Structure 1
Amino acid sequence: MAQAEIHLISDGKLPLSQFIEIVEATHPLLDYIHLREKHRSARELIAAAEELLRVGLPPAKLIINDRIDVALAVGARGVQLPWHSLTPAEARAVAPHLRLGRSIHSPQEAEKGSSQGANFCLFGHVFLSDSKPGQPERGLAQLAQTVRISRIPVIAIGGITPDHVSQIMKQGAAGIAVMSGICGSNDPLSAAKAYRTSLQVTLESKLAEEVSMHESAH
Structure 2
Amino acid sequence: MKGKAALQAVGENRMLKREDLLLYLCTDRGLSLGRPITETVEAAIAGGVTMVQLREKAAPTGEFYAIAREVQAVTRRRHIPLVINDRLDIALAIGAEGLHIGQSDLPLREARRLAGDMFIGVSTSTLEEARQAQADGADYLGVGAVYPTGSKADAGEAIGLAGFAEICAAVRIPVVGIGGINTANTAAVIRAGAAGIAVISAILSQPDIEAASRTLRMIIDNGAK
TM-score by length of 1: 0.86
Residue of structure 2 in register with 1:84 after alignment: 104
Residue of structure 1 in register with 2:89 after alignment: 69
Shift of the 27–132 alpha-carbon distance from structure 1 to 2, 3 Å rule, reads closer
Q: Distance in 2 between matches of 1:126 and 1:114?
A: 19
Is the CA contact 1:87–1:116 (under 8 Å) kept in the aligned structure 2?
no
Residue of structure 1 in register with 2:168 after alignment: 147
Question: Structure 1 counterpart of 2:84, which letter?
Answer: I
Q: Which moved more, 1:9-18 or 1:192-201?
A: 9-18
The answer as to 2:134 corresponding to 1:114 is yes
Number of matched residues?
A: 202
**1:19 equivalent among 23, 37, 44:** 37
**Unpaired runs of at least 5, structure 2:** 1-17
Q: Cα distance, 1:191 vs. partner?
A: 0.5
Q: CA RMSD in A?
A: 2.0
Q: Cα distance, 1:136 vs. partner?
A: 4.0
Question: Structure 2 counterpart of 1:11, which letter?
Answer: D
- SS of alignment partner, residue 131 of structure 1: coil
- SS of alignment partner, residue 80 of structure 1: strand
Is the CA contact 1:19–1:183 (under 8 Å) kept in the aligned structure 2?
no
Q: Cα distance, 1:60 vs. partner?
A: 5.1
**Unpaired runs of at least 5, structure 1:** 205-218
Greater relative contact order structure (CA < 8 Å, 6+ sep): 2
TM-score by length of 2: 0.83
Identity %: 33
Residue of structure 2 in register with 1:131 after alignment: 151
The structure with more radius of gyration:
1
Q: Cα distance, 1:11 vs. partner?
A: 2.4
Q: Distance in 1 between matches of 2:31 and 2:63?
A: 14
Residue of structure 1 in register with 2:64 after alignment: 45
The answer as to 2:84 corresponding to 1:35 is no
What does 1:51-62 align with in structure 2 at a 5 Å threshold?
A: 51-54=70-73, 56-58=74-76, 61-62=81-82
Q: Cα distance, 1:14 vs. partner?
A: 4.5
Q: Distance in 2 between matches of 1:137 and 1:95?
A: 31
